[in-house]
Homo-oligomer: A and B are copies of this chain.
């Protein structure tokens, strides 16, 4: 009978791994201890860099500051709206900085912060892993149907 599991915890004090468990009382009812009180670290991390395009954006900034439209150009498939949205989010989280250059016409530069760079390691790993994936199992990026508006 399976009644003992380990899974992710938020407290990293003892690091190693506090073990979350599913226990069974005499009556057979189960309770979880130290479950993912909050969404797991995994989930929480995903909320930060797992947004659509978020990873790509961050990734594109790794080689230096990039201007808005260039960024949009690089990430083919993402609308300006999305780029803006995600950039704002990343900015609010301190992963990138936004700097308006005093030129005409205006130009805005986005740059990854030191903090943002700490995420690149993981992204690199993800990239390597992804590239080893058989193409068939990648869920096709479906084209949304047009809104029908002129």
Residues in chain A within 8 A of chain B (CB atoms): 2, 5-8, 10, 12, 15, 19-20, 22, 30, 32, 35-48, 50, 52-53, 55-56, 59-60, 63-67, 70, 73-77, 92-94, 109, 118-119, 121-123, 125-127, 129-133, 135, 137-139, 141
Contacts and interface: CB of A to CB of B under 8 A. Distances in A.
A7 B77 contact: yes
Contacts of A60: 5, 7-8, 20, 39
What's the number of copies of this chain in the assembled complex?
Answer: 2
Which of A40, A52, A135, A137 gathers most chain B CB within 10 Å? Answer: A40
A85 to B, nearest CB: 13
Contact of A123 (B6, B42, B67, B75): B42
